[in-house]
Each structure stands twice: as structure tokens, then as C-alpha cells.
Structure 1
Amino acid sequence: MRDSRLDVAKGVLIILVVFGHLLTRVGLGDGLTDLAYTVIYAFHMPAFIFLAGVTAKSTRLVERIATFVILLAAFQTLYYVAERWVGDAFAWSWTDPHWIMWFLLAMIWWTLTVPFIERFPRTLVAVSAVVGVCAGVLPFAGADLSISRTLVFWPFFVVGKVYGKKLLAFTAGFPLWTRVGGCVVALLPLLALFVADTDNSWLYGSGNFDHLEVSDLRGMLIRACLTLIAFLAIFALLAAVPDVRGPITVMGERSLSVYLFHGFVVIALAPALEEFFAGGYGHAVQIGAVVLCGFAAFGIAFVLSLKPLHWVVSTPPKKAAAAFASLVTPREHSRNGR
């Protein structure tokens, strides 16, 4: 039986994804908006990837990968059309997914490793940890093929696959004071990243150490610290989320539609947000920007998690992927009751 706390956590995270992208369109100052951005980006995608690992399976592997390929091709095209329509078209590239599309390509690579994770779980945890910390040493680790992000965030996927369900069960019975204390402890290093004026490029995971202009040793130390900070925040999130059913739970269950469609809303709102907050970044404006983006993120996530949009990104792509998989792996589909 699926743990509803997993969906609540995914719901919280997908709201933070939308929130973070709205903040970038507002523009970042040196105050509250920058603080919120740093805290969110230091853990929200690692946590999202961790939860993707929890639900990852090696069954119907071709079908799962084909689904991601179809979604990547379709939405890369749709985003190109949308941004060209507003006069800000990106340079087309199949090897360098645009903006949020990197996650779909990374999911393809991570999904391919699932059979090995299931066969050698502890070994892959150790290997992925080393790879994640040392990925920045590789000169070819960059945005192309989402290689850098795939390697940097791979430990979160592997640990989620191997230990995610156990951690969900372990944190379920924590008393309230433990949950609150855990959130406070996890928040402190996130705040420290802001105080230390951490370059946001570190949080994206998209560049190697040469790109980040640090030595290999310093880069590995920084990446190791960022990885530990993110894992601490993930643990606190799992402990904090309640076992309830509600709108956030539904957003979590249908987070894929929110993720894929919210970029269009952000693009549409960008001119209005930029103009509205163009007057300056006083304390009141900073608070207003964060509050407005927070409410907007919740509303956008709620609307984009409605059944029609969820159906669009789930049923047709999965049916097409299943049809393709049945052609290339008929025996495997027969064994799985397809």
C-alpha cells in the first residue's frame, strides 16, 4: 500500500519547484527573496529525486524509459513553440534539454541503473556517493545530455531506492517535538549557505569544477557538504510530513503534470511579475514578493494537478510507450501480463 506521506512530501516539493521558478522571474535581491531561493534550491530537487527513487522499479523498463522519451520530445517542442511565441526562443538542441526538461533526460539515465541498484544495493549506494562528489572533476560533465546533474544527483535517487521506504516508516512515529527539532536542525545549514553567499550555480548541479572556478579538492569538499546538507533536509521533510489526505496529497500524486506544465504559466506571468516588482527591493517589497509567489505557487500547482492535465501527461504517453515496448520486448510484456 502506498504511503500517503510520500505524496504529501512530493506535493510540498512540487509547490516549492513552482515557487522557486516564480522567484527567479521576480528577480533576486540580497534579502528575503534570495534567502528563500537559496533554502529551496539547496534541497528541493535532491528531495524530489530521492522520492523518485522510492517509487522506481525495474519492471517494464523499456516502457518506462519510452514514456520519458516521449514526454521529453513532446514538451521540448512545446516549450520551444511557447518561447518563440513570446519572442524568447532558445537554441534548439536534443542533447542539451531546455530548462526543466533536464529532469526527464536524467530520469532516463537513473531508470537505466535501477536493475543494478536492485542487484547490488549497498555497493551502488557507495559508488553513487563517490560519483556524486567527484563528478565535477570530469571535464565533459556539463549540461549536455544532463550528464552533470545526472551524476551529482544520482546518490539521492539510489538512496531513495534502497532506503527510502525504510526511512518513511522510521520517521512515521516521531513525536511532535522531534519533528520540529529536526526541521530546525535541518534549516540551520541551509541558512548558513545563504549567509556564506553560496553561488547558486552550486545548487543547480549543472557544471563541473572548472566551470565553478574551484580546484578539484575544494570542489569535492563543497559538493560533499552540499550533499550532506540536502540529505539532512530530506530526513527532516520525511519526519515533518503528516499522514493525511488533501489537496497537497493530490498535487504529489500528480506532480508530473504540475512539473511539466508549470513552466508555461511561469513564462506567461514573467512580464507581469518583472514589471510589478521593478520599482526596487525594499524590505516590504521582498516580503510581498515571497508571499505573492508562495500563494501563486500553491494555486498554480493546484490547477495543474487537476485530472484533465494529469491525464494528458500520463495516459497517452504511457499507452504509446506500452505499444512500443510490446513491439521490442513482446515476451517481457507477456510475462508481466501486458
Structure 2
Amino acid sequence: MFPAASSSPTATGSADTPLPPVRSPTDTVPHPRAPGPAAPPAKQRDAFFDNAKYLAIVLVALGHAWEPLKEGSRVLQAAYLCIYAFHMPAFIIISGYFSRSFDLRPDRLKRLVTGVVVPYIVFETAYALFQRIVDRGPAVPISLLDPWYLMWFLAALFVWRMITPLVKLVRYPLALAVALSMLASVSPEIGDDLDLQRVFQFLPFFVLGLSLKQEHFALVRRRSVRILSVPVFAAAFAVAWWASPRMNSGWFCRCDSAQELGAPWWTGPVMTLALLGCSLALTACFYAWVPGRTTWFTALGASTLYGYLLHGFLVKGAGYQGWYDAAWLHRPWGEAVVALLAAAVVTLLCTPPVRRVFRCVVEPRMDWAFRKDAVAAARERARA
């Protein structure tokens, strides 16, 4: 690395005089040729989580696309219930996992505004206007307090992240979240503001994500769990097939209390616990089959918010135009075609070209709207 010392005589010594040993540079004595401190390596994304997010968003699109068709097919109803039992819990757990470091620091609040609040306002308004233009039915009111269709998730994510610092202060956060979820299931007075029923009833999954670590996900990705998941999914489908004509699917949406679903109040806490256990079991089985290596769809997992926010226009537009009324769509092969189209469309909506077009409303920078952080400005001046 460094040139060898010369053995020829110098002005201050002779060839018979031994030269002093060459000293290697230390951490405390800088060497003129020693390189500066190496920059820390960029933190790489875990392919497992991107894969899981992509597969979960495909299931979300699949459930939305199947919803207008499920009434005529008991098999489709069973598949619909199975998907709705775990696809949002799987997504919410990962959202909680990546919210563990969230606090009220200015840069994180700014990201919350630009990544959650602004898309919520834009798309809540856009969906209402879209319905008024394309649909011939009664107009949907533009209301930022009453999330419509799939916008509830952004409202819930905003609330969950804002309460994250408080959640991390309490001693038993998961038990508290389950208790709040049970209480919400018997509280029809909560109303529709910010879809707080879903906020509370899905809260345990977000809090669970806050509590998980990398090794917990590794536990459910073992080969034994993957093998066990096959009979578990089969049993879940059999139960869903039996329950589909007997059970209100609104329980899986978690947007109403027990009284609003026409059930006695005491069934709310019971169903909350039952669905919590069912959702966690199926979510673990889902994670077990998510590949941990980089695949062709791994990069798409970083853009699932685009697929989530945009696919609803196509699903709702198809319903407004009466495309679901075609008889062939209500046959098994028609339902399969709808599933393939839903998966293909949501995949395209997560690609880089779509991201470049819609970045201004899904991930806007908006530096002009915020004051510059004094601490960050001081650090920049120090580096200069």
C-alpha cells in the first residue's frame, strides 16, 4: 500500500546506521496518504418485505375485483372470505414494523404529511369527482372526514403513526390494542369520521408490527411452517365455504360494530378475538410462502402505494360502466380471467413509468411548504 523505505545513505545517516522502523498509521495519528473515513454502506432493502407487500397488494386488488361477482358463486365467496381474513392484516403488520422508529421529529412529520396526508386529500377528492363524472347514481359527497372506498387505509395509517410514540410508552401495548378493538366492536356511536371503527379494529395488527423484530419473521419462514400452512389454508377455505351463506362478510371488513351488523352486542368481542386469531394464523402462513430472495417483482414492492391508490379507479369504473353484468364473467373461467386481469393491472400500476407520472401526487416533495429545520441547516453549514 505504501512505498518501501529506501536503504541508501541519507544526509543524516550512513548505510551502517539502521533506519528507524516504519510505523504504520494509527487512528490517532493521521497519515498523509491514509484514505479518509469510509462512508457507511447504504442500507439495502430486505427483499422479503418488498415481496410480501407486492403479493399483499395483488390480493387486495383481487378481492376488490371479485367483490361484484361473489354473490353468484359459493366457491368465490369462500375465496373472498379467505383473502379478506388476512390480506390487510399482513399489509398492516408490515406497516407497523416499518413505523417502529417513527417519532415527532420534523423530517418524519414532513414525510407523514407528504406520503400520507397529501395523497389522502388528493385521492379522496379524485374518487368523489370520478364517481360523479362516470357513475349515473347519486353523487358521493366530497368529505375529508369520511373516507370513501379504499381511502380508509391512509386515514388509519395517519392515526396509527401519530399515536406510535404513545404506544411505545405503555407497558402492554398489544393487550391495550386488543381491548380497544373489542370495545370498538360494541360501540356504534363511533361513527364514520376517519373510519375510526377500522382504525380501532385493525389497531392490534399495527401494534403487533411495532413489537416485532427480524427474527420473528424468520420464525414463520421456516420450512416446517411452510408445510403446515398447506392444511391450514385448506381448512380455512373449507370453513369459509361453510360459513359464506351463514355469515355476514362485514365482520372481515371491520368497518361496523356488532349492532350495526344485526348481531347481539356480546358477539362483537367474541368475533374480534376469533378473527384476530384466524387472521394471525393465515398471515403467518402467507409470510411462510413469501420468497426471501430477490425476484422479478421485488422492486415493485417499493411502489405498492401506487397500485393501491390507482387500481380502485379501474375497479369502480368497470362497475359504473356495467362491465360486471356480462354473463360470462359469472362463470368459473370468467372469474379466473378477472383475477388474472386484476393481478396484471395492479402489477403495471407499481412499475417505474406509472410511478414517474403520479409521483407528484403520491410522493410529492413539497419542500416549498415547510420551514427549513434549524438543526439540519446548522449541520449543513458545519459540513460546508
- TM-score bracket, shorter-length normalisation: 0.7 to 0.9
Deviation at 1:72? 0.8
Segments of structure 1 that go 5 or more residues without pairing to the other structure are: none
1:299–1:337 CA distance, 2 compared to 1 (3 A): farther
- Matching of residue 293 in structure 1 with residue 343 in structure 2: no
CA offsets 1:122-153 (integer angstroms, 9 cap, x no match)? 52111111112221122323432110000000
Letter in 1 for 2:190: A
Q: Which residue of 2 aligns with 1:74?
A: 122
* Residue from 351, 355, 369 that aligns with 1:306: 351
Q: Does 1:40 align with 2:83?
A: yes
Instruction: Quickly say closer, same or farther: Cα 1:151–1:323, change in 2 above 3 A.
Output: farther
How many percent identity over aligned positions?
25
Amino acid corresponding to residue 134 of structure 2 in structure 1: V
- Residue 273 of structure 1 pairs with residue 316 of structure 2: no
Out of 262, 285, 299, the position equivalent to 1:250 is 299
For 2:360 and 2:380, how far apart are their aligned partners in 1?
A: 18
Task: Show CA shifts across 1:81-120 (max 9, x none).
Answer: 2211212431222211110111111111011122223344
- Greater relative contact order: 1 or 2 (C-alpha under 8 angstroms, separation 6 or more)? 1
Q: Does residue 160 of structure 2 align to residue 116 of structure 1?
A: no
When residues 163 and 201 of structure 1 are mapped into structure 2, their CA distance, relative to the original with a 3 A threshold, is same
Cα displacement (A) at 1:162:
1.0
Give distance in 2, aligned partners of 1:131 and 1:155.
9
- TM (norm. structure 2) is 0.78
- How far apart are 1:167 and its partner, in Å? 2.1
Alignment of 1:41-56 (within 5 A): 41-56=84-99
Question: Quick one: structure 1 residues 292 and 332, their matched pair in 2 at CA, closer, same or farther if it must change by over 3 Å?
Answer: farther
Change (3 A) 1:118 1:187: farther
Pair 1:155 & 2:204 matched: yes
Larger mean Cα displacement after TM superposition, 219-228 or 75-84: 75-84
Residue 14 of structure 1 and its aligned partner are, at CA, apart by 0.5
Do the aligned partners of residues 239 and 145 (structure 1) sit closer, same or farther apart at CA in structure 2, a change above 3 Å counting? same
User: What secondary structure is seen at the aligned counterpart in 2 of 1:260?
Assistant: helix
1:36 is displaced (CA, Å) by 1.6
The Cα offsets for residues 163-183 of structure 1, whole Å up to 9 and x where unpaired, read as: 1533222234x12x5303124
**Are residue 20 (structure 1) and residue 63 (structure 2) matched?**
yes
Distance 1:337 1:123 in 2: 40
Counterpart selection for 2:232 from 162, 185, 197: 185
**Separation (CA, whole Å) in 2 of partners of 1:337 and 1:226:** 50
Asked if structure 1 preserves the Cα contact closer than 8 Å seen for 2:62 and 2:342, the reply is yes
Q: Distance in 1 between matches of 2:326 and 2:238?
A: 28
- Which shows bigger deviation, 140-149 or 259-268? 140-149
Contact 1:21 1:266 in 2 (8 A): yes
Q: CA separation in 2, counterparts of 1:254 and 1:4?
A: 13
Look up the match of 2:102.
58
Contact 1:43 1:234 survives alignment (8 Å): yes
Aligned length in residues: 328
Of 132-141 and 296-305, deviating more is 132-141
> Within 1, Cα distance between the matches of 2:67 and 2:378?
47
1:91 counterpart residue number: 141
* CA drift at 1:311: 3.6
- Name the structure 2 match of 1:230: 279
Alignment correspondent of 1:264: 313
Structure of greater Rg: 2
Give the 3 Å change call, closer, same or farther, for CA 90–243 of structure 1 in structure 2: same
**Cα gap change, 1:182 to 1:20, in 2 (>3 Å):** same
Q: Which has the higher helix share?
A: 1
> Measured at CA, do residues 187 and 337 of structure 1 come closer, stay the same or move farther in structure 2, by a change above 3 Å?
farther
- Which stretches in structure 2 are left out of the alignment for 5+ residues? 1-43
Deviation readout 1:294-315 (Å, 9 max, x if unpaired): 2112210121011132245546
State the SS of the aligned residue for 2:71. coil
**Distance in 1 of aligned mates of 2:184 and 2:379:** 36
C-alpha separation between the residues in 1 aligned to 2:380 and 2:282? 40
Q: Does 1:6 align with 2:49?
A: yes
Distance across 1 between alignment mates of 2:72 and 2:357: 37
